Structure 1
Amino acid sequence: MYRLIASDMDETFLGEGHRVPPANLEALARMREMGILFVPSSGRPYSSIMDSLSGIDPALLQGSYVISYNGGFINRYGDDRPLLRTVMDRASLEQLYRYAVEHRICMHVYTESGRIFTQFLNELERGYIANLAGIEELGDDQDALAMAGGEEFPKIIFMDPDFDAVKRLGERLRPSLDPELVDITHSSNRYVEFVPHGVNKGTGLAHLAAMLGIDMAETVGVGDSANDLAMIQAAGLGVGVANASDDIRPACDLILDATADDGAFPELLRRIS
């Protein structure tokens, strides 16, 4: 019997426009009946995740938790004070930011409070993030590090609509980064993500399971892209939605027939019951 389902948000639990498909709302109610804890797990900040869930009856998630910043933060649902907090090495973050400014790379810079500074956005990315909370688009001559004041940064990501190009960018930068300080992953077929070393959704799930006294064999990890891979591998059952990227499919114990836009969680519950 599975006791906890940890799910990526964008392109997994959320469909087009970062909205919850009606079928997944029904699945949340069914999970409550089954005694299964549903835990959102995202690369986005806690506040942004909560905004995407704002239309859901809070009773469906009462007593649950939220894993954010790729596993670097854990919060109780409804409480913005993190139980776990991990931020980036400041020098590494500054190096990546200055590189992106020099080369005018479309990027998101995340602060620990949930502010998301974006810069050098292309029109595709501007449309993709249009209804996400916490976005602050900066002008080309503004400085995100200065704008953040004394805040620390959990992550920074670069975007390119050519996914192969953004992967090459990450590999080009890898030798200049200390592997004991920074890890690199990918998401949404558009991003290369730079996060603190050892931070991933798998470690986030393991930390939460330990807090709750839940065996990892009793957990399910659901995702669609590379930044979900560690969670899929760590969980007792690793699941990909039908739109999962090719690089995570071999690691999945189960690939669903339904896509994120369909609302895949009723199928998931049927197949694990």
Structure 2
Amino acid sequence: MDVKLIALDMDGTLLTKDETISELNRKRIAEALANDVRVVLCTGRWYESCLSYAQLLQLDSYLITCNGGEIQTVDNNLIERHLLQPERVRMMWELCNWLDVNTWMVSTDNLWQEEGATDFSKHDWLKFGCDSLDTDKLNHIISELSHYDDLELTNSLPTNIEVNPKGVSKASALERVCHELGITMQHVLAMGDSLNDMKMIQAAGIGVAVGNAQKAIRQAADYVTDTNEQDGVGKAIETFVL
């Protein structure tokens, strides 16, 4: 497989539990870049929270953030953006608040944690998230939100729910990036650990799960590498790229 682009989830995949990038991972990413392979961070995080990692790795192309809700270049040129309807965000926040479930929301101008906006209509909303150790509460939220056909539900941990506009995913964003670069998804090596990585792992030419990935991701992947704490990303690059 001629890999021309490596798409990397961040939390639980590229990053260790203390949110750092291991020496081996950095080294293998640098070697891939030196071999003209693009490396794209493909994350549920928002732009500002992953830009410093892209700069540390000396990445010079695209950042896929908010589970595909935005595509930007590392120099802050917006390529694509998908927004949730403000009334949907307000509804989800009220539901979670009623259930006493932790929430976070990403707008184009702010990160909201727990507190809702005074006026939801005054903001452009990229992603909604909630988390709880109470699976009954999470299942209730999923059941309620499943009635809305304009929402895309996924997770980045078994204990959370993340919501984007329908059709938005890391895979759909990667397809746009591939179009921009003049390549196809068959030339992509994608790595992740959670359900928000599922579609890109399935769509990529090579889909890789880290060893600590959720069971469904390990089963869907073409290959399972080591864990995020044991240089899984770097070892997969050694196997398929270098």
TM-score by length of 2: 0.92
Structure 2 residue matching 1:91: 3-state secondary structure? helix
Q: Which runs of 5 or more structure 1 residues have no equivalent in the other structure?
A: 120-137, 139-143
- Pair 1:265 & 2:233 matched: yes
Aligned residue in 2 for 1:61:
59
Aligned residue in 2 for 1:29:
30
Do the aligned partners of 2:129 and 2:163 also contact (CA within 8 Å) in 1?
yes
Farther off after superposition, 85-94 or 199-208: 85-94
Q: Which amino acid aligns with 2:73?
A: R
- Give the distance between the partners of 1:8 and 1:167, measured in 2 at CA: 23
**How far is the alpha carbon of 1:46 from its aligned partner?**
0.8
What count of residue pairs does the alignment treat as equivalent?
Answer: 240
More strand by percentage:
2
Query: CA distance change for structure 1 residues 29 and 47 in 2, over 3 Å: closer, same or farther?
Result: same
- Give the distance between the partners of 1:70 and 1:166, measured in 2 at CA: 23
Coordinate RMSD, CA, aligned: 1.8
After TM superposition, the structure 1 = structure 2 runs for residues 177-188 of structure 1, keeping only pairs within 5 Å, are 177-179=147-149, 181-188=150-157
Do the aligned partners of 1:111 and 1:148 also contact (CA within 8 Å) in 2?
no
1:184-231 deviation digits (Å, cap 9, x = unpaired) = 111122211111000011101111101111111101111001010011
TM-score by length of 1: 0.82
Aligned residue in 1 for 2:72:
75
Do the aligned partners of 1:166 and 1:190 also contact (CA within 8 Å) in 2?
no
- Give the distance between the partners of 2:211 and 2:160, measured in 1 at CA: 20
Aligned residue in 2 for 1:160:
132
* 1:97 pairs with one of 93, 98, 109: 93
- Give the distance between the partners of 1:103 and 1:87, measured in 2 at CA: 25
Aligned residue in 1 for 2:6:
5
Runs of 4+ in 1 over 3 A off after TM superposition: 51-54, 164-167
**How far is the alpha carbon of 1:170 from its aligned partner?**
3.5
Q: Which amino acid aligns with 1:270?
A: E
**How far is the alpha carbon of 1:149 from its aligned partner?**
7.6
1:159-185 deviation digits (Å, cap 9, x = unpaired) = 0135x446413432234x421x11111
- Give the distance between the partners of 2:137 and 2:164, measured in 1 at CA: 16
Query: CA distance change for structure 1 residues 78 and 148 in 2, over 3 Å: closer, same or farther?
Result: farther
1:15-35 deviation digits (Å, cap 9, x = unpaired) = 112211121111121111221
- Give the distance between the partners of 1:166 and 1:53, measured in 2 at CA: 36
Aligned residue in 2 for 1:131:
none
